[in-house]
Amino acid sequence: MEFMDPLKLAFAMLLALDPELISIISLSLMVSFTAVCAALLIGLPIGALLSSYRFPGRWAIITLSNTFLGMPPVVVGLFIYVLISRAGPFGWLGILYTSYAMMLAQFVLVLPISIALSRQVFEILNSEYTPLFLSLRISKLNRVLVLISEARVALTTIALACFGRAISEVGAVMIVGGNIRHSTRVMTTAIGLETSRGELAKALALGVVLLAIALSVNIISQIIRSKFERNIVND
């Protein structure tokens, strides 16, 4: 195998719109995008609440989210597997070895990131704005919404970090998704499979695509960031 072979193969597969490759890429994007959106939707308000208010259970949530930050993905995958397997408490959902299970696994993995990172951002903003909020006597909900709006530039970076974590995840989605062809095979699990088969060129080609997606997401994120910053200036 020559050095450029994987690149050539990757371009050939992409240009030919190889159905299997396109299916793997689109499933990877769909699973990760859904998991990240759900994690941000739930994690950001929790981060804002944790930074703004003292309430019973706050310490427990912070400890739990910090602990899950360092949780090995395979352990998360195993935990979810036990929960959603036929004999598990949520076996009746019937989502084991489906894309829903993979979304759930990625969601569980990125939720602590969205909570922990956003809490840090919100705490800085909250300490700055608390006298203003108290003086204006604004409601708790409004306070959370203002914090999210004020942190929008930093939150773009957090979303990117979450997406990077989700799309590059392999252990958990392998366990709960099963890496089933045309069903739950995503780029990372496909790379693992092709490598084990000795199809290094194909594995590297998928790796190149994965890198290209990561690069594209990064560029899009930078564009969104600079647009936000420009809008802030021109607002």
Question: How many CA within 13 A on the CB side of residue 54?
Answer: 0
| Of residues 42 and 138, the one with the C-beta less far from another protein | 138
The helix (H) or strand (E) run that includes residue 103 is helix 99-136
Residue 146 and residue 222 in contact, taking contact as beta carbons nearer than 8 Å: no
Binding site for another protein (CB under 8 A): 128-129, 131-132, 134-137, 146, 150, 232-235
> Shortest Cβ distance from residue 159 to another protein (Å)?
18
> Shortest Cβ distance from residue 233 to another protein (Å)?
5
Measure the CA–CA gap between 167 and 213, rounded to whole angstroms: 9
| Of residues 106 and 118, the one with the C-beta less far from another protein | 118
| Of residues 16 and 232, the one with the C-beta less far from another protein | 232
204 contact partners, CB below 8 Å, separation of at least 6: 5, 6, 9, 10
Around Cβ 213, how many Cβ atoms within 10 Å? Answer: 18
> Shortest Cβ distance from residue 231 to another protein (Å)?
9
> Shortest Cβ distance from residue 115 to another protein (Å)?
22
| Of residues 111 and 159, the one with the C-beta less far from another protein | 159
| Of residues 129 and 163, the one with the C-beta less far from another protein | 129
| Of residues 54 and 137, the one with the C-beta less far from another protein | 137
Closest CA to 4 of 208, 142, 160, 199: 208
> Shortest Cβ distance from residue 135 to another protein (Å)?
5
DSSP annotation string for 109-137: HHHHHHHHHHHHHHHHHHHHHHHHHHHHT
Residue 213 and residue 167 in contact, taking contact as beta carbons nearer than 8 Å: yes
> Shortest Cβ distance from residue 58 to another protein (Å)?
20
